[in-house]
């Protein structure tokens, strides 16, 4: 799934070296004229000096213009604006910070953008949410301008319990200390009591997949941001919906569907447990039809290149205003729909790609963009734009490592793929903790999981249903009750996988792990990748 990627850092360094050599050659020419030492410079040398001076002054102006203090929009909610902080050596982190700010502003969020050296303890203390976009340079070092923060702010800042944060760590896997500064910031924020909004996202050499993932997470930050188009659209492949089945009829929760998909042509590609399907959603046919009617377009209208306007609209955000605009201009202004990510619930050996989706509702009662389309509008046989994303962070450990799998709701999707892969690998030391609302309606894959337990593939199966009045309310309560077993499994080298709700479940499970094992052991599990999370 990985393709060779363009190395920005190398390109940047080579460009700087080439420019310096060119300048050196030009300056050398100044020494070649006659009378350099005895007379005043020749007129052309005066003109060259003036030209260089002007270029220098212009460059200074451009640099100042880029960092000039800008008026920051106020927040409608009375909350302080979302703080976006960058730490960058060669400019990429800064560029991404600006794009993140732009995306969030386009979605109506007030933001303030700062270089890390412009951040002090007071600013952190007065912010409620902060995004840190930080690169690593040297041999695992922070960018130069970040040193002021490391020396002045880090040793002195007090606790930050009110701050919710996320870190986008830029790096290059070929270096020994991969994304080290991003991790250092993350650990420091955590140690000061700040609450992670989601897990740190590592970006290996500008990896577009990781950047799209970051964008999806930005979208989750505040609802409306979820419609901002992707910075770089995934290169989808055509797949086909094979079947769709409602998994929880009668549930008090939102409907959950099981979907099976096949590539439209060719063989099933391979993927690993933990990988993600990126889906390119579409507008429903009814929404496209209604929009075209409202804006006076005939359903058969074609674009100058022969495509049907309706097809382009289906993959685009439907603009509110399209009066008095010719069709070519309309096509040029349409913005593509953003992608959505779903945990893959099956393994390639099962013959298809399975997903598990909960239909989301927007505040106006309309179904969510992608979940509505996949759960309500698509029919078996329909084309689905899909791309696989390798999710290295959530890949399985070796088969001889005991595995603790914890999840709630649709989080069981990613965990099921892991269990399937463990069975294929002959790995029996599996402990699953799963939480939902009612046993009667919401025990997704329940029969299969119980069968796997009977067959000895799941050593312990703790299914917890919050509305049934059983011994435990939530999955974290079951984990806390089995703290002794948790310690034993961890002592035996177990890895922990957590998949499901970012709100509620993930932080509560985290707290139980800290309680049962202590903060140092918890930190060690994270650093050694024995505690992996895929939460959303």
Ligand X SMILES: Cc1cc2nc3c(=O)[nH]c(=O)nc-3n(C[C@H](O)[C@H](O)[C@H](O)COP(=O)(O)OP(=O)(O)OC[C@H]3O[C@@H](n4cnc5c(N)ncnc54)[C@H](O)[C@@H]3O)c2cc1C
Ligand Y SMILES: Cc1cc2nc3c(=O)[nH]c(=O)nc-3n(C[C@H](O)[C@H](O)[C@H](O)COP(=O)(O)O)c2cc1C
Interface positions with ligand Y (CB under 6 A): 9, 13, 88-93, 135-140, 143, 170-172, 175, 177-180, 206
Which of ligand Y, ligand X, none does residue 324 bind (CB under 5 to 8 Å by kind)?
A: none
Which of ligand Y, ligand X, none does residue 180 bind (CB under 5 to 8 Å by kind)?
A: ligand Y
Q: What is the DSSP letter of 359?
A: P
Residue 187 CB, nearest approach to ligand Y (Å):
15
Residue 344 CB, nearest approach to ligand X (Å):
8
Residue 391 CB, nearest approach to ligand X (Å):
7
Which of ligand X, ligand Y, none does residue 73 bind (CB under 5 to 8 Å by kind)?
A: none
Closest CA to 114 of 150, 69, 154, 74: 69
Which of ligand Y, ligand X, none does residue 195 bind (CB under 5 to 8 Å by kind)?
A: none
Q: How far apart are the first and last CA of the chain?
A: 23
**Cα gap 302→51, rounded to integer Å:** 53
Residue 148 CB, nearest approach to ligand Y (Å):
16
Residue 235 CB, nearest approach to ligand X (Å):
19
Residue in the structure block whose two tokens are 């502003």: 105
3-state secondary structure 289-319: HHHHHHCCCCCCCECCCCCEHHHHHHCECCC
- Name the residue nearer to ligand Y (CB basis): 115 or 345: 115
Residue 42 CB, nearest approach to ligand Y (Å):
41
**Cα gap 519→503, rounded to integer Å:** 21
- Name the residue nearer to ligand Y (CB basis): 8 or 152: 8
The token duo for 238 is 């055509």
Which of ligand X, ligand Y, none does residue 103 bind (CB under 5 to 8 Å by kind)?
A: none
Which of ligand X, ligand Y, none does residue 370 bind (CB under 5 to 8 Å by kind)?
A: ligand X
456 Rama class: left (phi>0) / alpha (psi -120 to 50) / beta: left
Residue in the structure block whose two tokens are 């009045």: 469
- Name the residue nearer to ligand X (CB basis): 358 or 487: 358
Which residues are at the interface with ligand X (CB under 6 A)?
216, 223-224, 226, 276, 340-343, 356-358, 360-363, 368-372, 410, 413, 534, 536
Residue 142 CB, nearest approach to ligand Y (Å):
10
Q: Do the strands 195-196 and 276-280 form a parallel or antiparallel pair, or are they unpaired?
A: unpaired
**Cα gap 133→88, rounded to integer Å:** 8
- Name the residue nearer to ligand Y (CB basis): 9 or 375: 9
3-state secondary structure 430-484: EEEEEEECCHHHHCCCHHHHHHHHHCCCCCEEEEEECCCCCCCCCHHHHHHHCHH
Which of ligand X, ligand Y, none does residue 357 bind (CB under 5 to 8 Å by kind)?
A: ligand X
- Name the residue nearer to ligand X (CB basis): 379 or 484: 379
- Name the residue nearer to ligand X (CB basis): 33 or 223: 223
Helical ranges in 136-239 per DSSP H? 147-148, 180-191, 208-221
- Name the residue nearer to ligand X (CB basis): 153 or 370: 370
Strand, coil or helix: 202: strand
């Amino acid at each position: 799934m990985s393709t060779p990627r363009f190395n920005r850092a190398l390109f940047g360094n080579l460009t700087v070296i080439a420019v310096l050599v060119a300048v050196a050659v030009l300056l050398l020419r100044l020494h070649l004229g006659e009378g350099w030492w005895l007379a005043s410079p020749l007129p052309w040398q005066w003109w060259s000096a003036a030209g260089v001076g002007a270029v220098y002054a212009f460059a200074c102006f451009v640099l100042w213009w880029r960092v000039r203090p800008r008026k920051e929009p106020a927040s409608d909610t009375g909350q302080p604006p979302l703080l976006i902080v960058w730490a960058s050596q060669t400019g990429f982190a800064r560029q991404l910070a600006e794009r993140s700010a732009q995306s969030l502003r386009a979605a109506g969020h007030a933001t303030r953008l700062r270089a890390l050296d412009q951040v002090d303890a007071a600013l952190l203390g007065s912010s409620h949410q902060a995004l840190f976009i930080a690169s690593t340079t040297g041999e695992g070092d922070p960018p130069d301008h970040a040193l002021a923060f490391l020396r002045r702010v880090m040793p002195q800042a007090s606790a930050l319990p009110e701050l919710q944060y996320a870190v986008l760590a830029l790096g290059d896997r070929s270096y020994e200390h991969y994304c080290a500064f991003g991790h250092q910031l993350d650990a420091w924020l955590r140690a000061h009591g700040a609450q992670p909004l989601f897990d740190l996202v590592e970006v290996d050499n500008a990896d577009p997949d990781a950047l799209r993932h970051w964008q999806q997470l930005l979208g989750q930050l505040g609802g409306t941001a979820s419609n901002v188009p992707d910075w770089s659209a995934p290169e989808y492949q055509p797949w086909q919906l094979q079947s769709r089945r409602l998994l929880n009829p009668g549930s008090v929760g939102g409907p959950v569907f099981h979907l099976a998909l096949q590539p439209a042509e060719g063989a099933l590609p391979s993927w690993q447990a933990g990988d993600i399907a990126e889906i390119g959603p579409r507008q429903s046919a009814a929404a496209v039809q209604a929009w075209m009617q409202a804006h006076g377009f005939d359903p058969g209208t074609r674009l100058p290149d022969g495509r049907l306007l309706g097809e382009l609209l289906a993959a685009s955000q439907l603009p509110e205003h399209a009066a008095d605009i010719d069709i070519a201009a309309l096509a040029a202004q349409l913005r593509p729909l953003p992608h959505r990510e779903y945990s893959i619930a099956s393994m390639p050996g099962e013959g298809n790609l399975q997903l598990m989706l909960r239909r989301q509702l927007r505040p106006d009662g309309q179904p969510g963009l992608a979940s509505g389309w996949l759960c309500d509008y698509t029919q078996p046989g329909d084309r689905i734009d899909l791309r696989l994303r390798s999710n290295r962070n959530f890949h399985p450990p070796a088969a001889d490592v005991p595995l603790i799998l914890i999840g709630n709701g649709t989080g069981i999707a990613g965990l099921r793929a892991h269990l399937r892969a463990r069975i294929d690998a002959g790995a029996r030391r599996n402990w699953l903790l799963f939480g939902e609302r009612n046993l009667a309606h919401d025990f997704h894959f329940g029969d299969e999981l119980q069968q796997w337990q009977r067959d000895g593939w799941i050593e312990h199966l703790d299914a917890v249903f919050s509305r049934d009045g059983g011994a435990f309310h939530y999955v974290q309560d079951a984990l806390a009750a089995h703290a002794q077993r948790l310690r034993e499994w961890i002592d035996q080298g177990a890895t922990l996988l957590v998949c499901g709700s970012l709100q509620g479940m993930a932080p509560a499970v985290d707290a139980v792990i800290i309680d049962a094992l202590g903060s140092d052991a918890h930190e060690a599990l994270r650093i050694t990748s024995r505690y992996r999370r895929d939460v959303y």
